Amino acid sequence: MVPSSGFVVRSRREVILGPVHIDMRSNEERFVGMRYFPHSRPVEGTIQADYALSFCNLNVDGPWSRQEILKEQDESYRAKKFAAGYYITDHYGAPANIVTRGTHYWIFGTDFELILWPYVIKLLLTLYSFERELLHLKAASIAWNGAGTLLVGRGGSGKTVLMTQLCRQGAQFFSNTHSLIQEHHILPVPTAMRVRNDSLFAPIIAERKLPMGIKRDEYLADPLTDLGWLGGTTARLKNIFLLDYRGPDTRDIREMDREVLLNYMEQFSLPLNVYGIKEDILDHLGGDVAAFSLQMNRMREQLHTLVERCNGYYVSCDATDPGNLREIQELL
């Protein structure tokens, strides 16, 4: 049994990530994790959610039995890492514990901000895509005149700048981080967007009094309400832009070799690679390496088909330059 005796739900919302619905609960009065999900609503009674998340702050209520929690903790790779204070990639903190019961995930700890967005959401979106044979990608996504476009690239490659320029010109916003693809169509996964206090966003940060994100130089903005962008429902994919900003004096906008684009996206867009959650997926599959191989093959085949059907472009330029922006818009 989950060591939940004494867990009092003080904040609870249904988080809506496009097609994915999450029943998110905490014993904290104001659960800070909610600020990452502007598309959420209060919950009363029972709801039909795909997943449930219960965050138990061990500094609230209690006393909590560490021995009982450790006894019930998952026997997974990630559970052992959490217990040692290592969450994922470069995120570290106080020891935490994961207890999984079907689609209900219990997380016991003292600070959840470095756990929820960096790890849990990435895992759940990937599991959801597995179960429904969707393709989950680390990619921003927009639609221009009804045609969908993915923006891929490593951190600092210019995705946010280009997306901002296009959405200010009337493009529909779908996602800034996670994109779900179903039968060559984008399913919007809108969440709060991390913006920096630079010339592009400083006025909005000051005007809207945006909250700070995980990193000190980042703030959280709702693209629809804070930035005033247009939302969308779905769009058929037409383009993939690989962003690779190399400074204001660089201007390189051209069609890409599809094999180069595919190899890049396998490493920088597939969640198992870019987020480092292959151990989690293998544990979820009960350690079945054959089932893991099937999932990997399915993802690769879907990605290969996606790249083959889309126009692929390499974009390395200053997207705030009107001439560069016009050339990009013509490709859309």
Task: Output the DSSP codes for 236-286.
Answer: EEEEEEEE----TT--EEEEPPHHHHHHHHHHHTSHHHHT--HHHHHHHTT
Q: In which band, very low, low, confident or very high, does the pLDDT at 140 lie, cut at 50, 70 and 90?
A: very high
The angle formed by the CA atoms of residues 109, 118 and 99, to the nearest 5 degrees, is: 40
Q: What is the pTM (predicted TM-score) of this model?
A: 0.94
Q: Rounded mean pLDDT of the chain?
A: 94
Query: Domain for residue 242, yes or no?
Result: yes
Residue 3's nearest CA partner among 112, 111, 106, 110 is 106
Do 159 and 297 lie in one domain? The reply is yes
Do 158 and 94 lie in one domain? The reply is no
Query: Is the pLDDT confidence value at 138 over 70?
Result: yes
Strands 104-109, 178-182: pairing is unpaired
Do 115 and 211 lie in one domain? The reply is no
Query: Is the pLDDT confidence value at 155 over 90?
Result: no
> What value does the mean pLDDT take over residues 124-144?
96
Do 141 and 79 lie in one domain? The reply is no
- Hey, what are 126's tokens? 């990937």
Query: Domain for residue 5, yes or no?
Result: no
Q: Domain residues for 127?
A: 11-132
- Report pLDDT for 6: 83
Do 147 and 250 lie in one domain? The reply is yes
Classify 330 as helix, strand or coil.
Answer: helix
Do 96 and 162 lie in one domain? The reply is no
Do 256 and 271 lie in one domain? The reply is yes
- Report pLDDT for 20: 96
Strands 230-231, 172-175: pairing is parallel
Query: Is the pLDDT confidence value at 283 over 80?
Result: yes
CATH code at position 222: 3.40.50
- Report pLDDT for 3: 72
- Report pLDDT for 198: 87
- Hey, what are 85's tokens? 């204070």
Residues 6+ apart with CB under 8 A from 270: 137, 138, 299, 300, 303
Query: Domain for residue 3, yes or no?
Result: no
Query: Domain for residue 77, yes or no?
Result: yes
Residues 6+ apart with CB under 8 A from 99: 2, 3, 69, 72, 73, 74, 105, 106, 107, 108
Tally of structural domains, the chain: 2
CB atoms within 10 A of CB 14: 17
Query: Domain for residue 19, yes or no?
Result: yes
Express as a percent the part of the chain with pLDDT over 90: 85
The angle formed by the CA atoms of residues 310, 128 and 261, to the nearest 5 degrees, is: 25
Q: In which band, very low, low, confident or very high, does the pLDDT at 2 lie, cut at 50, 70 and 90?
A: confident
Is residue 199 a contact partner of residue 208, using CB atoms and an 8 Å limit?
Answer: no
Query: What are the angstrom distances between the C-alpha of 43 and each of 10, 91, 125?
Result: 11, 30, 21
Strands 91-92, 51-57: pairing is unpaired
Classify 22 as helix, strand or coil.
Answer: strand
φ/ψ of 169, rounded to 5, equals: -95, 0
- Report pLDDT for 110: 95
State yes or no: cis peptide before 188, omega within 30 of 0.
no
Beta strands in 102-209 (DSSP E): 104-109, 135-138, 140-144, 147-152, 172-175, 178-182, 185-187, 193-196
pLDDT tens-digit map of 202-248: 999 999 999 888 887 889 999 999 999 999 889 999 999 999 999 98
- Report pLDDT for 62: 82
Do 128 and 178 lie in one domain? The reply is no
Do 178 and 80 lie in one domain? The reply is no
Residue 311's nearest CA partner among 147, 136, 175 is 147
Residue 324's nearest CA partner among 242, 239, 254, 253 is 253
Do 286 and 147 lie in one domain? The reply is yes
pLDDT tens-digit map of 36-80: 998 999 998 888 999 999 999 999 998 898 899 999 999 999 999
Do 216 and 296 lie in one domain? The reply is yes
- Hey, what are 263's tokens? 């190899």
Higher-pLDDT residue of 260, 62 = 260
Do 114 and 143 lie in one domain? The reply is no
Query: Domain for residue 63, yes or no?
Result: yes
Query: Is the pLDDT confidence value at 1 over 70?
Result: no
> What value does the mean pLDDT take over residues 19-28?
96
